[in-house]
Structure 1
């Protein structure tokens, strides 16, 4: 996958990320799975109380239906892309054409120059340093620059391409992880229950069933299917 493809992913899936931010989180990472059987009775009681507190039918005030973690991810991605676009535009975007002053509007040459300057300033291919700038707008603009699309720009050098590629890869990876498209691996605080007492890790987050495994003995746990109602 190219850097331009990473930017396309951000552009195409940004709406999905916005929708995810507007809903209460429904899953936690890492998932509890069957490994919760290793918890103490006191810890299990605490988890049960937490579930009761988040039950929509439970009494008391409900938390705002917004996923703060996703909003933080969106801010991180957007800041990185807009900053990269500002930086790249300052290097590769041609300065605005300036019409000469001191000539009357009846002068044909002056009138043509003023119209040319106005057209150049309004060119939609230009990156704007002020006003509303969003992650999809920045991602699309950066992708077009990587693909050498025509406009008031020079071609990017290798250093510029690499810098944009790093921002694109970081943003796309963060988006995929947030939406559950990327596999993750995280340590579990409880030791392996068999005599080895080794380090447990949980892997998942990419849509495939998560699994807990012991890095020492190789024992694994998978999430048991829910019983039919």
Structure 2
């Protein structure tokens, strides 16, 4: 799964990396992005790529209560193309969720050790995401979920699930404005080349979502 991550890059670095022409409204780096918070996402509106904020935790358009979002921060890629909440989103509401590392908790005996995980060959990367718009009683929400998969050999030592990180050359294809049939989207995700990871231990300070400073990413002393 993916329940916390970081985005520490400055705005200009993000705009240049992803070819975004417009400024990002209210952009703020974060050491500890958690479910329910605003997350920076990129979509293609058919004319250009746009970056903006979505709330993390998908609220499907047909939901009657937006609190369901807290149960839908992740979507299993193995079955998303078959589930009512995600199937139609895979056709045309795909997004990139920008990050530069994520946290996972490794069970060691009776304890869980938080780890910060990042890519070895590039700083910024994107999770494969889905988004939707929910309107109810005059309230509009734009929300998203992160697609996950079975862990690769590196991640299996830490957790049995992991977020799907898109190879750099596949990001634009994932958010292309053309309709992608759910089965094709499923196949696209299944055939992605694995990324190379590195990880190190951090303190339990990161466990509390309100903690959001450099102490979250500080390597734990041996």
Query: TM-score, normalised on structure 1?
Result: 0.23
Larger radius of gyration: 1
Higher relative contact order (CA 8 A, sep 6+): 1
